[in-house]
Structure 1
Amino acid sequence: MWKQILIGIILVIITIYFHAEATRFIIQIIKNRSNDNIKGRKFSRVIWVSIMVLTMLSASIIEAIIWACCYLYLDAIKGFENAVYFSVVTITTLGYGDITLYDEWKLLSALEAAVGVIMFGWSTAIVISAVQYIYFPEQNKNK
C-alpha cells in the first residue's frame, strides 16, 4: 500500500507540474497580447479561447498518458491502448470499470481520479479567467 501511495504522490506532482506549465503558457499568451489585439473581432476571440481550451486539454491528455506509462511500467495493466483508455477514463472520473488495474495497484487509480477532479477544476478556472479577460477586457484595466 505504501509503495502505491509513494508512486501516486510522485505522479500527482508530475501532473501538477504539467498543469502549471500549461497555465504559465496561457498567462504568457494573455500578458503578451494587448487588450486591443484580443478584443478585436468576435472570430479572433473565439480562436484565442479555443487555443486556451486546447492547451488545458492537451495538458490533461499528456498527464493521462504519463499515468498510463507508469501503469505499463509497473505491469499493473496489459497493453498501451488499454492503459491509456483506463487512465483517461479514470482521470476524468468517468470510471466505466470495463478495464481495471490488477488488484495490487488499484489504489493508484483512486489517486489518479482524485487528482483528475482537481486538475479539471483548475482547467475550468483558467479557461473562465481567460474568457473574462478576452471578452470583458474593460474589467481588467485596474488589475
Structure 2
Amino acid sequence: MLHNLAVGLPVMLVCLMLQAVFVAVCLRYYVRFKHAWQGRAELGQEVLLLSVVMVLILFGNFVQMAIWAVLFMLLGEFPDFATALYHSGVNFATLGYGDIVMSPTWRLLGPMEAANGILMFGVSSSVTTAAVLDVIKHNLAALGPDAEP
C-alpha cells in the first residue's frame, strides 16, 4: 500500500499544479477579454468566451488523464497507451466500469486517480460557474437597476 501512495501522491500533486495552471490561464484569458470589451460583449462573444474557458479546463482534465495513463504504462500495467488512457479516463471520471483492472500490486492507484479526478472536475465546474455567473451579472447590470432581482 505504501508503494502505491509513494507513486500516486506525486502524480496527484503534479495534476493539482497542472490544474492550477489551466485555471490561471483561463482566468487571465477571461479578464483580458472582459477588459478589452469593457464589459459590453455581444452574445457571440460571450458564447466564445465561455466556450474557450470550458474547452481549456476540459483539456486540462484530459492532460491529467494522459499523465495517469503514462504512469500506468511505466508501471507495466497495460500493453498500449490506448488501453491505459481508457482505464485512466474511467478512473478519473469515477465511472468504475471494472472491465479493465490493474494488478493487485498497483490496484490502489485507481481510487487515487478517481479522488484526483473528482476533485479536478469540481474545480472545473467552479471555474465554469464563476464565468457564467459573471456573464449573468454583467448582463443584468447592462439592463439597469430595475432589472436586479
TM-score normalised by L of structure 1 = 0.91
TM-aligned CA distance change 1:35 to 1:133, over 3 Å? farther
For 2:52 and 2:67, locate their aligned partners in 1 and report how far apart those are by CA, in whole Å: 22
Q: Is the 8 A contact 1:22 1:56 kept in 2?
A: yes
Q: What residue ranges of structure 1 are gaps of 5+ in the alignment?
A: 139-143
How many residues get paired?
Answer: 139
Counterpart code for 1:135: I
For 2:136 and 2:44, locate their aligned partners in 1 and report how far apart those are by CA, in whole Å: 12
For residues 62-82 of structure 1, give each alpha carbon's deviation from its aligned partner in whole angstroms, at most 9, with x where no partner exists. Answer: 000000000000112221110
Paired position in structure 1 for 2:128 = 127
Question: How large is the Cα RMSD of the aligned pairs?
Answer: 1.6
For 1:83 and 1:100, locate their aligned partners in 2 and report how far apart those are by CA, in whole Å: 10
Kindly state the Cα deviation for residue 103 of structure 1 after the two structures are TM-superposed.
1.5
> Which structure ranks higher in relative contact order (CA pairs < 8 Å, sequence separation ≥ 6)?
1
Q: What residue ranges of structure 2 are gaps of 5+ in the alignment?
A: 142-149
**Within 5 Å, which residues of 2 pair with 1:1-143?**
1-34=1-34, 37=37, 39-137=40-138, 138=141
Counterpart code for 2:93: T
Kindly state the Cα deviation for residue 134 of structure 1 after the two structures are TM-superposed.
2.5
Q: Is the 8 A contact 1:39 1:135 kept in 2?
A: no
TM-score normalised by L of structure 2 = 0.87
For 2:133 and 2:56, locate their aligned partners in 1 and report how far apart those are by CA, in whole Å: 17
Counterpart code for 2:121: F
Superposed structure 1 runs of 4+ greater than 6 Å apart: none
Kindly state the Cα deviation for residue 35 of structure 1 after the two structures are TM-superposed.
5.4
Identity %: 25
For 1:4 and 1:88, locate their aligned partners in 2 and report how far apart those are by CA, in whole Å: 19
Q: Is the 8 A contact 1:77 1:100 kept in 2?
A: no
The structure with the largest alpha-carbon Rg is 2
For 2:13 and 2:127, locate their aligned partners in 1 and report how far apart those are by CA, in whole Å: 19
SS for the counterpart of 2:115 is: helix
For 1:27 and 1:39, locate their aligned partners in 2 and report how far apart those are by CA, in whole Å: 18
Kindly state the Cα deviation for residue 54 of structure 1 after the two structures are TM-superposed.
0.4
TM-aligned CA distance change 1:19 to 1:69, over 3 Å? same
